[in-house]
């Protein structure tokens, strides 16, 4: 069997349903083999970055491995941003790149680039296949590495001659990787030590990150919070890991987190961190972070533990397994519900007082549309439809995180770690490919949407009814906000003097376009847009200089919040 057919067979055995890609000379043979075989759906994007984000969105929405197929050279380099995005957020992905024939490698051949070298620091692992006989093993390993342990993107570079060499196809059933053995099962002794801290804590808080969603630990997390009556705050990546509408949810913490969440973190005596990594957007000034707290840190990646903060009880393992064990011990210890409640009653009084003092809020305006109002309305109108929300990056992302309530895991797809503008729309395409019947909405800004707007054609071609909400302030709003606050309002390079007519853009692609310019139009435009058939843009001309608050200025302690 030829290399290209081995690849198609292997992808089938891995259960791959859809591939996002863009063709070229060095990958044409695999496109041909896929076409002849006809089992796997191929989505032709308009730019390779779009393919990686779409595969990423597919992976985040389903938990399966997303797959991309691109050509050598520029095709491969265009995937780098998407790969780095997936790497930072631990998203399982396999990226197949074409490469010039082995004999030409190193010769500066046409469309040759050392993509394995380029992506080494932003992939979990990568391969250059030099012998067709290695191909089945490498494909098997790639999918295994992508989805196990702390997931991540894996790249396989496929020289054109290898794609056409023949070898016997036998897909390995088992994997032998002596150097890769992620620890899943947490240490019992550590779990017990964790319980000893929980038992004594008077002001505990659960700090949940993306690991909760990746490991599917949302049920266990809810059990833990409800059993010990502890508040839960989430990172951007953790939203949906605990119901946003739950009475114990304090919402997001960190730079644009709620006042209450940040105050609780600053005053807690015990942080129970689950699948989170104490990122700088969460901790603020590290010396001032949670000064009174002991820390229990559950994470599958040992490097995340003790990287930024000193941890009292490190627990290396899968979040779900760890929480299961912890819940079991709590249950066995048998402290009555009332006792937990009493222990934390004063803490809850304090939290409620913070919540009351500075709730998440904004000032309505009767003449100008406030972006927060759009998100609130969008939430109200779609919450019963179990939507998947994707976001771009910047103010749109933060308003979505603050004002949309995510009750289920895998309902918010957003670029957290890398903060990639242009992520949301192609990610929505990936999510909609996975769930054709669900409502998929990209919450965008006028800046971000223009970074991958070419994928409108992809969505039309695939007949995907993605809804795009554009919060248009004719600014790169988040940077503008920093300039307003810290650069004496010098709006260097953030004002868009030309912004396209998004309604006309929608129409040009054959999609639907609606625009609201007054607060009174918001509901009707959402109504029309959400009910319109097929790809739809809803554009909202929002208050140009609206800011995201609360805000912890970079480098400040998280208690030093700027409020509305």
Partner 1 sequence: MKHTLSVLVENCPGALSRITGLFSGRGFNIESLSVAPTLDPTLSHLTLVTRGDEFIIEQIIKQLNRLVDVYKVVDVSEGEFVEREMALIKVRAEDETRAEILRMCDIFRCKVVDVSPKTYTIEVTGPESKMKAVTELLKPLGIKEIARTGTIAMAREKKSV
478 assigned to active site? yes
In the complex, least distance from residue 52 CB atom to partner 1, rounded to whole angstroms: 21
In the complex, least distance from residue 409 CB atom to partner 1, rounded to whole angstroms: 25
- Interface stretch with partner 1, choices 83-91, 119-127, 243-251, 493-501 (CB under 8 A): 119-127
First to last CA, the chain: 65
Which of 36, 39, 41, 177 binds partner 1 (CB under 8 A)? It is: 177
Cα 269 from Cα 272, distance rounded (Å):
10
- Interface stretch with partner 1, choices 15-23, 69-77, 300-308, 355-363 (CB under 8 A): 300-308
Q: At what angle do helices 371-382 and 522-531 cross, to 10 degrees?
A: 40
- Interface stretch with partner 1, choices 50-58, 114-122, 255-263, 322-330 (CB under 8 A): 114-122
Q: Which is nearer to partner 1, 118 or 167 (CB)?
A: 118
- Beta-carbon contacts of residue 134 (< 8 Å; ≥ 6 apart): none
- Beta-carbon contacts of residue 437 (< 8 Å; ≥ 6 apart): none
Binding mask 352-391 for partner 1 (x = CB under 8 A): ----------------------------------------
In the complex, least distance from residue 71 CB atom to partner 1, rounded to whole angstroms: 22
Catalytic residue among 4, 64, 124, 160: 160
Cα 431 from Cα 448, distance rounded (Å):
18
Kind plus residue range of the DSSP H or E element containing 296: strand 294-299
Catalytic residue among 4, 9, 20, 48: 48
404 assigned to active site? no
Q: How far is CA 262 from CA 37, 124, 304, 309, in A?
A: 54, 32, 21, 16
Positions of E strands within 193-277: 204-208, 232-234, 249-252, 270-274
User: How far out from the chain centre does Cα 12 lie?
Assistant: 26
180 binds partner 1 (CB under 8 A): yes
Catalytic residue among 110, 189, 306, 545: 110
Q: Which is nearer to partner 1, 130 or 556 (CB)?
A: 130
Which of 176, 178, 356, 366 binds partner 1 (CB under 8 A)? It is: 178
3-state helix, strand, coil split of the chain in percent (to 5) is 45, 15, 40
Which of 35, 103, 106, 120 binds partner 1 (CB under 8 A)? It is: 120
Which of 68, 88, 145, 431 binds partner 1 (CB under 8 A)? It is: 145
- Interface stretch with partner 1, choices 26-34, 61-69, 177-185, 239-247 (CB under 8 A): 177-185
Q: How far is CA 534 from CA 54, 515, 557, in A?
A: 18, 17, 46
Length of the chain equals: 564
In the complex, least distance from residue 243 CB atom to partner 1, rounded to whole angstroms: 33
- Interface stretch with partner 1, choices 303-311, 320-328, 344-352, 508-516 (CB under 8 A): 303-311
Asked if the bond preceding 550 is cis, omega within 30° of 0, the reply is yes
In the complex, least distance from residue 121 CB atom to partner 1, rounded to whole angstroms: 5
- Interface stretch with partner 1, choices 44-52, 120-128, 445-453, 469-477 (CB under 8 A): 120-128
In the complex, least distance from residue 178 CB atom to partner 1, rounded to whole angstroms: 6
483 assigned to active site? no
Q: Which is nearer to partner 1, 145 or 282 (CB)?
A: 145
101 binds partner 1 (CB under 8 A): no
In the complex, least distance from residue 183 CB atom to partner 1, rounded to whole angstroms: 11
Cα 148 from Cα 144, distance rounded (Å):
6
- Interface stretch with partner 1, choices 19-27, 79-87, 113-121, 540-548 (CB under 8 A): 113-121
531 backbone dihedrals φ, ψ, rounded to 5°: -90, -10
In the complex, least distance from residue 76 CB atom to partner 1, rounded to whole angstroms: 16
Which of 63, 302, 534, 553 binds partner 1 (CB under 8 A)? It is: 302
Which of 17, 32, 301, 461 binds partner 1 (CB under 8 A)? It is: 301
- Interface stretch with partner 1, choices 68-76, 118-126, 434-442, 547-555 (CB under 8 A): 118-126
Cα 24 from Cα 22, distance rounded (Å):
7
Q: At what angle do helices 319-333 and 218-228 cross, to 10 degrees?
A: 30
Cα 30 from Cα 353, distance rounded (Å):
61
In the complex, least distance from residue 205 CB atom to partner 1, rounded to whole angstroms: 24
- Beta-carbon contacts of residue 305 (< 8 Å; ≥ 6 apart): 297, 299, 311, 314, 316
Catalytic residue among 1, 12, 17, 111: 111
Q: Which is nearer to partner 1, 307 or 358 (CB)?
A: 307
- Beta-carbon contacts of residue 496 (< 8 Å; ≥ 6 apart): 446, 447, 474, 475, 476
93 assigned to active site? no
Cα 142 from Cα 126, distance rounded (Å):
8
In the complex, least distance from residue 460 CB atom to partner 1, rounded to whole angstroms: 40
560 assigned to active site? no
- Beta-carbon contacts of residue 313 (< 8 Å; ≥ 6 apart): 190, 193, 194, 197, 294, 295, 296, 297
Q: At what angle do helices 3-13 and 28-37 cross, to 10 degrees?
A: 50
Which of 15, 108, 174, 303 binds partner 1 (CB under 8 A)? It is: 303
Q: Which is nearer to partner 1, 39 or 306 (CB)?
A: 306
437 backbone dihedrals φ, ψ, rounded to 5°: -95, -5
Q: Please check whether residue 100 is in contact with residue 26, taking contact to mean a CB–CB distance below 8 angstroms.
A: yes
Which of 168, 179, 488, 493 binds partner 1 (CB under 8 A)? It is: 179
Total chain residues near partner 1 (CB under 8 A): 18
**Positive/negative CA dihedral, 532, 466, 22, 72:** positive
In the complex, least distance from residue 104 CB atom to partner 1, rounded to whole angstroms: 17
Which parts of 124-143 interact with partner 1 (CB under 8 A)?
Answer: 124-126, 128
Q: Which residues are catalytic?
A: 48, 110-111, 160, 478
Residue numbers of the site for partner 1 (CB under 8 A)? 116-117, 120-121, 124-126, 128, 145, 177-180, 301-303, 306-307
């Amino acid at each position: 069997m030829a290399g290209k057919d081995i690849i198609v067979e292997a992808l089938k055995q891995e259960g791959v349903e859809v591939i996002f890609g863009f063709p070229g000379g060095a990958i044409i043979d695999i496109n041909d083999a896929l076409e002849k075989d006809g089992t796997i759906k191929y989505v032709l994007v308009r730019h390779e970055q779009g393919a990686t984000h779409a595969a990423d969105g597919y992976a985040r929405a389903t938990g399966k491995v997303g797959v991309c197929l691109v050509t050598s050279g520029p095709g491969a380099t265009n995937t780098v941003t998407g790969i780095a995005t997936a790497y930072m957020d631990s998203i399982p992905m396999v990226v197949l790149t074409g490469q010039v024939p082995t004999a030409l490698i190193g010769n500066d051949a046409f469309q040759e680039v050392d993509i394995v070298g380029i992506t080494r620091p932003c992939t979990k692992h990568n391969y250059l296949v030099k012998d067709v006989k290695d191909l089945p093993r490498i494909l098997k390993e790639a999918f295994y590495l992508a989805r196990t342990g702390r997931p991540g993107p894996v790249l396989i570079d496929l020289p054109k001659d290898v794609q056409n060499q023949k070898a016997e196809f036998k897909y390995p059933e088992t994997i032998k990787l002596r150097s890769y053995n992620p620890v899943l099962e947490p240490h019992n002794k550590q779990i017990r030590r964790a319980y000893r801290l929980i038992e004594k804590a008077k002001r505990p808080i659960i700090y949940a990150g993306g690991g909760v969603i990746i490991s599917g630990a949302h049920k266990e997390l809810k059990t833990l919070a409800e059993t010990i009556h502890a508040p839960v705050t989430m990172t951007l990546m953790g939203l949906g890991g605990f119901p946003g509408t739950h009475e114990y949810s304090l919402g997001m913490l960190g730079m644009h987190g709620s006042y209450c969440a940040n105050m609780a973190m600053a005053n807690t005596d015990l942080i129970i961190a689950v699948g989170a990594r104490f990122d700088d957007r969460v901790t603020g000034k590290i010396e001032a972070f949670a000064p009174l707290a002991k820390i229990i840190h559950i994470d599958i990646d040992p490097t995340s533990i003790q990287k930024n903060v000193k941890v009292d009880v490190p627990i290396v393992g899968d979040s779900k397994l760890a929480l299961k064990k912890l819940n079991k011990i709590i249950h066995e210890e048998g402290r009555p519900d009332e006792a937990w409640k009493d222990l934390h009653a004063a803490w809850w009084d304090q939290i409620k007082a913070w919540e009351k003092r500075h709730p998440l809020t904004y000032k309505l305006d009767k003449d100008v549309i406030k972006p927060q109002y759009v998100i609130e309305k969008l939430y109200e109108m779609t919450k019963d439809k179990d939507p998947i929300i994707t976001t771009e990056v910047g103010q749109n992302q933060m308003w979505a995180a603050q004002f949309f309530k995510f009750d289920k895991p895998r309902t918010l797809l957003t670029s957290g770690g890398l903060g990639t503008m242009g992520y949301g729309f192609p990610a929505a395409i990936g999510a909609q490919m996975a769930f054709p019947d669900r409502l998929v909405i990209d919450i965008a800004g006028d800046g971000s949407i223009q970074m991958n707007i070419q994928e409108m054609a992809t969505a039309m071609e695939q007949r995907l009814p993605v809804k795009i909400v554009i919060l248009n302030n004719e600014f790169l709003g988040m940077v503008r906000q920093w300039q307003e606050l810290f650069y004496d309002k010098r709006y260097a390079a953030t004002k868009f003097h030309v912004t396209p007519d998004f309604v006309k853009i929608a129409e040009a692609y054959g999609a639907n376009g609606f625009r609201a310019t007054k607060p009174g139009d918001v509901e009707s435009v959402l109504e029309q847009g959400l009910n319109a058939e097929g790809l739809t843009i809803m554009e909202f001309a929002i208050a140009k200089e609206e800011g995201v608050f609360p805000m912890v200025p970079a480098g400040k302690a998280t208690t030093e919040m700027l409020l509305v």
